[in-house]
Structure 1
Amino acid sequence: MQRVTLVRYAAKPDRADENEALSLAVFNELKITQPEHVAYALFRDGVNFVHLFVNTRDEDASALVELPTFKAYAKEIGERCEAPPETIRLGLNLLASHGL
């Protein structure tokens, strides 16, 4: 079973670039730490952000949430958003994928 987490939100217009920079810092750290069994993607359309996190081994998200850059990103997320982020967490069995 894989843990799939989808988070979407709209950043405040004056904080969207800051949010993107904090988010991209997480990806830079992931490139360095190379955690196994983790897939993570970030999408942006204007002030709208979507994060997709998949742990293909188990439901432990610590490979992501324990990163110092992720903690910095998450610290003031509520203040950077128009409304609280919507989080969907699912435990799923992967049937097929391409590029994941």
Structure 2
Amino acid sequence: MQVMISCKIKPEQVERNVELLREVYEEMRTLGPAGLRYASFQLDDEVTFVSFAEMDDGPEVLRGLEAFQRYRATLDERCEEPPAMTVLREVGSYGFR
């Protein structure tokens, strides 16, 4: 399963959002969850964040990460616009990581 999640964060919550995302990535590096590839990007407007996830066994792998649960539990409060998830179907890629 491949998905893209985008959200627009309240300007005063951007720093907190980045902190929480860093905690998520630290836990991922520590635990090394199998079958998960995940990347997050902050757009030029500085308030829009886009994450791409590829999960071999579905989203259950994320549910097992405490830092991700903390991030997700307060995401709606930090958002100016609700998060939007889109399922992706790869057409092709080259050297993407």
| Interval containing the TM-score (normalised by the shorter chain) | 0.7 to 0.9
* TM norm structure 2: 0.86
Aligned-pair Cα RMSD in Å: 1.7
1:61 lines up with 2:59 in the alignment:
yes
CA distance in structure 2 between the aligned counterparts of 1:9 and 1:95, rounded to whole angstroms: 25
Q: Which runs of 5+ in 1 are unaligned?
A: none
- Specify the alignment match of 1:72 in structure 2: 70
Runs of 4+ in 1 over 6 A off after TM superposition: none
Alignment length (residue pairs): 95
CA distance in structure 1 between the aligned counterparts of 2:3 and 2:33, rounded to whole angstroms: 17
User: What fraction of aligned residue pairs are identical, expressed as a percent?
Assistant: 26
Q: Which runs of 5+ in 2 are unaligned?
A: none
Show the 5 A alignment for 1:1-100: 3-45=1-43, 46-55=46-55, 57-58=56-57, 60-90=58-88, 92=89, 95-100=92-97
CA distance in structure 2 between the aligned counterparts of 1:36 and 1:94, rounded to whole angstroms: 24
